[in-house]
A and B are shown apart, each in its own frame.
Chain A
Amino acid sequence: DGGITQSPKYLFRKEGQNVTLSCEQNLNHDAMYWYRQDPGQGLRLIYYSQIVNDFQKGDIAEGYSVSREKKESFPLTVTSAQKNPTAFYLCASSSRAVYGYTFGSGTRLTVV
């Protein structure tokens, strides 16, 4: 079945470390997105990519980086510059279809 796979499900980061969250899709979607969700809050856009080798900053890109070398993959790196990285991270992809958004199951990142 087609879908989005995010890994790992849980991730613990030490202060000063960079960590990378994986997002893979087999839906043949062109666009991919990374959202951050804090407890009891809505989703905020970190980065998005409409095509391979191209991506743009969202509303809260500081302290994060991404790459889009393959259509299927859109990894997110949380750098040491992100001062408050503890959150739930959701990856999504979309097609040109009217409501073609699909979400992964998320990665819960905790700083220890």
Chain B
Amino acid sequence: AQKITQTQPGMFVQEKEAVTLDCTYDTSDQSYGLFWYKQPSSGEMIFLIYQGSYDEQNATEGRYSLNFQKARKSANLVISASQLGDSAMYFCAMRGLIQGAQKLVFGQGTRLTINP
């Protein structure tokens, strides 16, 4: 079965510091995709970054980077120079083939609070 584990229910970081949000995954598939989404209090899901299982380089999108360690099955999100607007829930998700269909499986999320 495919599973995503986020072990940090909440994190508190000072503004301008870098922050790492942990994500480990479990799958027997060779081909899969890993996503990070941001969910502000409004509830919308904002796509941040994607990493494919065959991508050799870590994905980067502006201040976001994904530290992909395939052998350890981890896909941590790194936010550099955090800003007050980064305060939100963050979800790690994995796209895989489940029962013949591509599905997105989510972790429990990490609530990130940026302090001024």
Q: Interface of A with B (CB < 8 Å)?
A: 31, 33, 35, 40-45, 48, 50, 56, 58, 88, 90, 92, 94, 98-99, 101, 103, 105-106, 108
Contact = CB atoms under 8 A, between A and B. Distances in A.
Contact of B33 (A45, A58, A98): A98
B104 A92 contact: yes
B35 A99 contact: yes
Contact of A41 (B47, B50, B99, B109): B109
Contacts of B109: 40-42
Interface string B90-116: 010001000101111111110100000
B102 A103 contact: no
A101 B35 contact: yes
Interface stretch (B13-21, B37-45, B77-85): B37-45
A90 B102 contact: no
A105 B42 contact: yes
Most buried by A among B47, B52, B103, B111: B103
In the complex, the 9 A-B pairs of residues with the closest C-beta atoms, listed nearest first: A103-B45, A99-B50, A42-B106, A106-B43, A43-B106, A42-B108, A105-B44, A42-B109, A42-B107
Contacts of B101: 31, 48, 50, 56
Interface string B25-53: 00000000101010000111101001010
A24 B109 CA distance: 27
B13 to A, nearest CB: 19
A101 B108 contact: no
A108 B108 contact: no
Contacts of B104: 33, 45, 92, 94, 101
B92 to A, nearest CB: 9
A99 B52 CA distance: 9
Interface in B49-92: 50, 52, 91
Most buried by B among A40, A44, A50: A40
A29 B46 CA distance: 18
